[in-house]
Amino acid sequence: METQTTLYYAPSAGRSKAGAQEYLIFLIPGNPGLIPYYDPFFSALHTLLESTPALQSYNFHICGHSLAGFQTSEHDSQSPPELAGLQKQIEYVDDLLYERVDEVRQSTGCITPKVILMGHSVGAYILLEIIRGHRKQVESGGKQDFDLIGGILLFPTITHIARSPSGIVASALLRIPYSAHIASAIVKSFMYFLPSNILYHLVRLIMRFPEHAARTTTALIKSPIGVKEVLFLAKDEMDMITDDKWGEEVWGAATEPGTNSKDTINSNLVFFWGRHDAWVAQKTRNDLMEARGYRASSSKDSASLASLEAEQDGWKPTMLIDEGKIPHGFCLKHSEVVAEKVRGWVEDIIENHNEI
């Protein structure tokens, strides 16, 4: 069983407007990094963006690509698949982003498409690294093929993932020598003689996955190195995702009174965490929100103090915690509700950017 490595939702033929501003919304998946997990999410977001009155004058291109090492067929690449750690994934995604931007430019004639990045789980970490690289390139006078105007980080694992409940267990198991190779060999030997259609029904029955997730998981298990890549990348996540490593190039800095406080991407970053996420330690999440996040409201009774805090912190990223029970793996069964939230954030990002 094979799955596609790219998802792309273009502007609808009857709605696309010549000369309209082109927006590329580019998703970086989590681990496992197979993009078909997000197909219902893409479909829901595409429908919502095209039906939002305030966004009718724009063309949206929604795109995402599987991470390196997650090819589900030997024919997906001219060379044998190789295991990719976190740094290699960052470089791989960065190259893919520029390719997708170039495709939008060529297909639409838009010289400078506007880009909104989305990252899920470890994809959020990759997103921040891409922002850092893009900012350095712009500030050094390098080539700028697109205008990066915002980022949406869904259930981000960007600091101390090994301190999370699931991270504590995973890091202990992954410290066992050759654990990725051993686990992959066990899965391969067990599943080698099991036909894909039977495995698919077992996944649906045991995991209670919807159809798209069961097919994608079956393809992952049957893929050349997919299981090994999941564990190989996970070990890198445990080792590399530790302290907050970013400076003003990502988090931004306060501007002088009277200047435009939204003159960078930083204030157009939206972080959205689950209330109880097994891959995020609540203390590290709360510490990050306290240090880096914009608090849209104040617990103080003084309205003037709340207004002053908003004026001082308005340049910071928006950081939110889900008030419901959306799980870390939202793309399995909660695509529609997250797509509705993302639609609103996309609208806000565009509005904020247009005010500059």
Q: Round to whole Å and give the CA distance between 310 and 48.
A: 30
Mean pLDDT on 1-22: 82
SS (H, E, C) the chain: CCCCCEEEECCCCCCCCCCCEEEEEEEECCCCCCHHHHHHHHHHHHHHHHCCHHHCCEEEEEEEECCCCCCCCHHHCCCCCCCCCHHHHHHHHHHHHHHHHHHHHHHHCCCCCEEEEEEECHHHHHHHHHHHHHHHHHHCCCCCCCEEEEEEEECCCCCCHHHCHHHHHHHHHHCCCCHHHHHHHHHHHHHCCCCHHHHHHHHHHHHCCCHHHHHHHHHHHHCCCHHHHHHHHHHHHHHHCCCCCCCHHHHCCCCCCCCCCCCCCHHHEEEEECCCCCCCCHHHHHHHHHHHCECCCCCCCCHHHHHHHHHHHCCCCEEEECCCCCCCCHHHHCHHHHHHHHHHHHHHHHHHHHCC
Mean pLDDT on 295-302: 41
pLDDT band for 93, please (50, 70, 90 cuts).
very high
pLDDT of residue 230: 96
Contact assessment for residue 313 and residue 296, using Cβ atoms and an 8 Å cutoff: no
Contact assessment for residue 277 and residue 155, using Cβ atoms and an 8 Å cutoff: yes
pLDDT at 226 over 70: yes
Question: Which residues contact residue 78 at a Cβ distance below 8 angstroms, ignoring those fewer than 6 apart?
Answer: none
pLDDT at 104 over 50: yes
pLDDT of residue 77: 54
Kindly state the greatest CA–CA separation across the chain.
69
User: pLDDT tens digits, residue range 141-197?
Assistant: 766 668 899 999 999 999 999 999 999 999 999 998 888 888 888 887 877 678 889
User: pLDDT tens digits, residue range 277-292?
Assistant: 999 999 999 999 999 9
Residue with the larger pLDDT of the pair 305 and 349? 349
User: pLDDT tens digits, residue range 233-277?
Assistant: 999 999 999 999 999 888 876 544 433 344 455 668 999 999 999
pLDDT of residue 263: 41
pLDDT of residue 306: 39
Residue whose C-alpha is closest to residue 60's, from 318, 347, 331, 356: 347
pLDDT at 90 over 80: yes
Cα distances (angstroms) measured from residue 301 to each of 249, 295, 297, 312: 34, 15, 11, 18
pLDDT of residue 316: 85
pLDDT exceeding 90 applies to what percent of the chain? 66
Mean pLDDT on 3-15: 86
User: pLDDT tens digits, residue range 22-46?
Assistant: 999 999 999 999 999 999 999 999 9
pLDDT of residue 164: 97
Residue whose C-alpha is closest to residue 57's, from 281, 303, 351, 355: 351
pLDDT at 199 over 80: yes
Cα distances (angstroms) measured from residue 166 to each of 94, 110, 328, 351: 28, 44, 11, 38
pLDDT at 305 over 70: no
pLDDT of residue 140: 75
Q: What is the number of other CB atoms lying within 10 angstroms of the CB of residue 301?
A: 7
pLDDT at 69 over 80: yes
User: pLDDT tens digits, residue range 111-138?
Assistant: 889 999 999 999 999 999 999 998 888 7
Strands 58-65 and 6-9: antiparallel
Cross-strand pairs, 271: 153, 319
